Chain A
Amino acid sequence: MASLEVRGLTKVYRSPEKDPGLSGALASLFHRRFRETRAVDAISFDIAEGELVGFLGVNGAGKTTTLKMLSGLLTPTSGSADVLGHTPWRREGAFQRQFSLVMGQRSQLWWELPAQETFRLNQVIYGLSEADYRRNLGELVDLLELEECLSVPVKKLSLGQRMRAELAAALLHRPKLLLLDEPTLGLDVVMQKKVREFIREYNRRTKATIVLTSHNMDDVVALCPRVLIIERGALLYDGPLGELVAEYADHKVIRAVFERPVTAAELAPLGKVIEADGLHAVLEVPRAQVSKMAAELLRALPVVDLTIEEAAIDDIVRKIFTHA
């Protein structure tokens, strides 16, 4: 069963335009011109129950706008969305009780009070029984290692602790759909890993549908079997992460270790030199020529070790964005 069905979703922003300088400001008092920006342009996709989908795009590509429409904060200019059987922008209570939106930079926690006060408030907002509340909270505190953070005022928590408390607040009511906007923004590497592990575990345990946006490729590679790539409002790719590599990577990567220092000039005829520090080198070679170039490398230079790898996913995605 589909959790989300999106058809031709479009959002056009109208923003006033002003000529430069004081005369421009005066002119705009009397006659306003508007510029239309198509932030999201007729995108369509389905997401099945329990899927974990990564939503990728550079800043301003339309990720957050889409997420805002799916959570009901924005009304689209045209198109439709069916989310858990509801039209999100009608903001029906029955819909809001089934989903959660977590924005990396925005907090729903009460700043001066311990996080458990916000948890209590969410208990009554979502109408959770005491038993459900205790069970869900216990589970989340366990998974997120929140025990010692519960009674400390939120403003005294570290960024990582706060993000985890934020996740707990958002998940207390066991939403069927979780929209995550940049969940690892600003966290250190260890904390990023913890948050990722939690998201994966939560998805496994509860079968909740999760859509996450991130410009941290590690998040997506670690979590999302399927990705949607959006660029200037249009859907550029929708499919398995693995196929993205096969479809878009036109090169492979050769790593080599040498017996004696080798210069970049010696390597240049064999492929694009990415790294060369004497004893180590990394080369980018067109897919079709990989075996030929590898043989040539082994023949011409004193190679000790050689590996051939697929291109890194973030490289591919970056390439897609720069070509788009």
Chain B
Amino acid sequence: MRKYLVSYTIALQQVLQRRSSLLMDRVGGIAVIVSLYYFWMTLLGGKDSFLGYSREQMLSYVLAMNVLRSFVFTGRGWELVGDISSGRISSYLVRPISYHGYALALDLAQKTVHLGASFLEVGLLVLIVKAPVYLPHAWTTWLLFAVSVALSSLIFFFLEFIVSSLAFWTSESGGPLFCFELFLQFAAGTFFPLDVLPAALRQVLQLTPFPYMVFLPINIYLERVGAGEALGILAVQGAWLAAIVWAALSVWKVGLRNYAAEGG
């Protein structure tokens, strides 16, 4: 276990070392949160509720989205692609450490820094524009929300692992990864609550793991679903996670075989 803890602390140093790319990431995030915040303010106008969201809930959705985007959707898929296509991954395969565990530790380090930054941003926004913040009434909501976010982070980690593993077969896996990340953010509800979509599209999306990654966890937080329904969401998340982990490990296994087959 200690090796993963040390991996985590080293990765933490590395993230902080890359100050400029961290700063760029955050500036992009702030631009999104500020524009979405004012977009919804304008749309709400003087109304007290919209699409079944109270004013407070809708604006809190935007703020929560920034936090979740920073935590759930922060990963190092690009580095994995680089490790595979440069062959750097070999140096991990010959050492007594699990690459998945190692990658997860590195991901957590990134998430830690980005989570901290997103809290800071949301805090500043709340202070400056006096944004209303919805706080759950029941303590169980916090618990359900935390478990739900942990599950969606793991779903994201393994999904990204599958897409990045394409690098085992093609040197052009950066493209799929980029499309995947963009589509994922849309389908998960990081730009707007999925309630704004037509019912038919929403039903299709319900069949995928994506709404379970941001949209539904925020709904748990905003207490728009009851405790029973929230448990149901967690169960579906668990099932998706199991399926995705299985798929990721299978793709990895085949990919490694393919990787090894490349000469030299």
Which size bracket describes the interface of A in this complex? Answer: 35 or more
With A14-B261, A113-B14, A117-B13 known as contacts, the answer to whether A106 contacts B94 (CB < 8 A) is no
Task: Check if B10 sits within 8 Å of A106, measured CB to CB.
Answer: no
What is the distance, in angstroms, from A179's C-beta to the closest C-beta of chain B?
9
Please give, as numbers and ranges, the residues of chain A lying within 8 Å of B10 by CB-CB distance: 110, 113, 117-118, 120-121
User: Which chain B residue has the least Cβ–Cβ distance from A117?
Assistant: B10
Task: Check if A120 sits within 8 Å of B6, measured CB to CB.
Answer: yes
Question: What does the 1/0 interface line of B1-16 toward A look like (CB < 8 Å)?
Answer: 0110111001001100
Contact of B2 among A37, A65, A124 (CB under 8 A): A124
Bound CA–CA A96/B3 (angstroms): 15
What is the distance, in angstroms, from A253's C-beta to the closest C-beta of chain B?
36
Bound CA–CA A125/B257 (angstroms): 24
Between A and B, how many residue pairs show CB distances below 8 Å?
78
Task: Check if B13 sits within 8 Å of A113, measured CB to CB.
Answer: yes
Task: Check if B17 sits within 8 Å of A112, measured CB to CB.
Answer: yes
Please give, as numbers and ranges, the residues of chain A lying within 8 Å of B88 by CB-CB distance: 106-108
Task: List residues 207-264 of chain B with CB under 8 A from any CB of chain A.
Answer: 257, 260-264
With A112-B17, A120-B10 known as contacts, the answer to whether A39 contacts B90 (CB < 8 A) is no
Bound CA–CA A71/B93 (angstroms): 9
Task: Check if B260 sits within 8 Å of A73, measured CB to CB.
Answer: yes
Bound CA–CA A68/B260 (angstroms): 9
Q: Is B96 an interface residue (CB 8 A)?
A: yes
Bound CA–CA A75/B259 (angstroms): 11
Bound CA–CA A75/B256 (angstroms): 11
Give the one of A75, A124, A126 with max B CB within 10 A: A124
Please give, as numbers and ranges, the residues of chain A lying within 8 Å of B262 by CB-CB distance: 13
Majority secondary structure, A binding face = mixed
Task: List residues 45-78 of chain A with CB under 8 A from any CB of chain B.
Answer: 60, 64-65, 68, 71-75
Please give, as numbers and ranges, the residues of chain A lying within 8 Å of B97 by CB-CB distance: 125
Question: What does the 1/0 interface line of A83-119 toward B look like (CB < 8 Å)?
Answer: 0000000010100110111010011101011000110
Pairs across A and B, CB under 8 Å, 25 listed: A13-B262, A15-B261, A64-B264, A65-B264, A71-B94, A73-B90, A73-B93, A74-B260, A75-B257, A75-B260, A100-B94, A101-B94, A103-B90, A106-B87, A107-B88, A107-B91, A108-B88, A108-B91, A110-B14, A112-B17, A113-B13, A117-B10, A117-B13, A126-B96, A153-B17
Given contacts A75-B257, A96-B96, 7 further A-B contacts (CB under 8 A): A65-B263, A73-B93, A74-B260, A110-B10, A113-B14, A121-B6, A153-B17
Residues of B within 8 A of A (CB): 2-3, 5-7, 10, 13-14, 17-18, 86-88, 90-97, 257, 260-264
Residues of A within 8 A of B (CB): 13-15, 37, 39, 60, 64-65, 68, 71-75, 91, 93, 96-97, 99-101, 103, 106-108, 110, 112-113, 117-118, 120-122, 124-126, 153
